[in-house]
Chains A and B, each alone.
Chain A
Amino acid sequence: MKRSPLSLIVVAFVVALMLYFGYHQARHPGAASARLTNFSVAPDFSLEVLGGNTMRLSDLRGKAVMLNFWATWCGPCKIEMPWFVDLQKQYGSQGLQIVGVAMDDASKEDIAKFAKDMGVNYPILIGKEAVGEQYGGVNALPETFLIGRDGKIVDRIIGLEGKAEIEESIKRALNTQPASSRASAAEKTSLQQ
């Protein structure tokens, strides 16, 4: 049977396409991990802190904030948490504040037990769907937002990424300037003129 060259080209194209996707997926097991950057101001919210108090995001203005949405049923979240404990220890004195937001149906007791088992050294907030919606839905966990000292989102990480990549984002958030100091710098410049 004689095959037309066009058919062969089409078949080769399909095979090449499948190989490309297969290779791409094999190289990036975390294909769902996507990095998006948004330079808008992080939406403010007020949530209950595990233990009783309430925390408002705007109270942390002036600090670099790493806002991590997670859940007790999320395996990748469990990998990140010990990294966050280390990063909080390492960069806390430079102005980093990691904040965990539990997007969980589990009881507060279960969340507290999980956090204790993981040795968490940063505040855990009891998440609400409405807050997730403010941050674009938070459909996949973990989802982490790096917020600069000026309150603007520096980076958004969906899914599990390496500790080194997260550390890079933290450094970028720490390198931002608080809005007030930027305003006073601008004031100084205008006075000098």
Chain B
Amino acid sequence: MTTHQEKPLNAKTRSARRLRVQLTVIFLTAATLASAQTPGKAPTLTIAPVPVTTTPRAVATMVNLDFRVPPGYHINSNTPKSEFLIPTALKMDLPTDIVLGKIEYPVGEDRAFPFSPDEKLSVYSGDFTIAVAVHPLHSVVPGKYEMRGVLRYQACDNAACYPPKNLPVSFEVKVVKEPPAHHANPAQSPHAH
């Protein structure tokens, strides 16, 4: 009996809850679209959380950094096509005894814009990844280390450009002891007779 009375109430509650969720979705959609391009407001890049990277000493390990350019904007690639354009560049400041290896930038997308119809620009838009090689030396004490740096970029949309900005970048590297060197030559094995 009680169960029968509760059923319509549950249905109502479910319906109200669904409506609330839908309204939230509408609000977020509208807010995202409205904030995507606010006249005169410089866009801010975001970086996805970087999982802790475990690396043995004396080994170079690549760490991927995932960035996102807000919709409607682009930034110059690391190799823009004009000397006057500001390249996107990552600068890392690593702890002593952890050496920064190669920084791998993605290839820019060649795109023409309303302000540059005849001259294609090399840009990043949407999501892009920069890979950084970290190389802890033999002397590093095993443990967790924080790597800090900044991504310098300069964004534009289809009609305007914004002053260069620096996005703080940080990630953790867990340095472990290097695996023991094993002897691959069976001739030197004590079991060999």
Contacts from A to B (Cβ < 8 Å): 4, 6-7, 10-11, 13-14, 17-18, 21, 25, 29-34, 71-79, 103, 105-106, 110, 114, 137, 139-143, 158-161
Contacts and interface: CB of A to CB of B under 8 A. Distances in A.
A7 B37 contact: no
Contacts of A34: 39-40
Given A31-B158, A34-B39, A158-B39, A103 B22 contact: no
Interface stretch (B89-97, B110-118, B133-141, B168-176): B110-118
Interface stretch (B23-31, B45-53, B59-67): B23-31
B57 to A, nearest CB: 40
A29 B158 contact: yes
The 6 closest A-B pairs by CB, nearest first: A30-B159, A159-B159, A159-B160, A34-B39, A140-B160, A29-B158
Given A31-B37, A139-B42, A158-B40, A6 B19 contact: yes
B130 to A, nearest CB: 20
A34 B115 CA distance: 16
Contact of A139 (B19, B41, B158): B41
Contacts of A142: 160
A3 to B, nearest CB: 10
A73 B29 contact: no
Contacts of A140: 39-42, 160-162
Interface of B: 15, 18-19, 22-23, 25-26, 29-30, 33, 36-42, 72, 84-86, 113-116, 121, 154, 156-164
Given A17-B33, A72-B84, A75-B113, A31 B157 contact: yes
B29 A75 contact: no
Nearest to B117: A79
Contact of B115 (A17, A31, A79, A114): A79
Prevailing SS type, chain B contact patch: loop
Contact of A32 (B85, B158, B163): B158
Contacts of B26: 10, 13-14, 17
A78 B37 CA distance: 22
A181 to B, nearest CB: 35
Nearest to A9: B22
A182 B105 CA distance: 61
